[in-house]
Amino acid sequence: MSQVKRVTLDNQTQEALWKLLHSESDVVADVYGTEVRLTVLHADSFHSDDISAEIEADPELKQMLLESEEDIKASRVYTTEEAIRYIREHHSK
């Protein structure tokens, strides 16, 4: 799966898009003859970029993850779901 490119839009463009999306969560727009799907991503959906940004923003979490090598050496392993659940419960407040 390819990485999704994220962009920051100027205020005027943001306002125009919001007028389209504020009452709908999914819109198909014609852009120079190409149909482009615009979808509102809800806050509860996590992406790898979101997780990376959260880790970088939280020194305590980053340190804990760096120390996880000790867990690996002790044969303690965690699933991705367990890691995401931990982040949601303890670091998304």
Provide the 10 A C-beta neighbour count for residue 74.
Answer: 8
Q: What b/e sequence results for 32-69 when a residue is b if at least 16 CB atoms lie within 10 Å of its CB, and e otherwise? A: eeeeeeeeeeeeeeeeeeeeeebbeebeebeeeeeeee
**pTM for the whole structure:** 0.39
Backbone angles phi, psi at 54, to 5 degrees: -65, -40
Tokens (6 digits) for 78: 């965690």
18-70 pLDDT per residue, tens:
888 888 888 999 999 999 999 888 766 556 677 788 888 888 888 888 877 77
Q: What is the dihedral of CA 26, 27, 31, 35, to 10 degrees?
A: 80
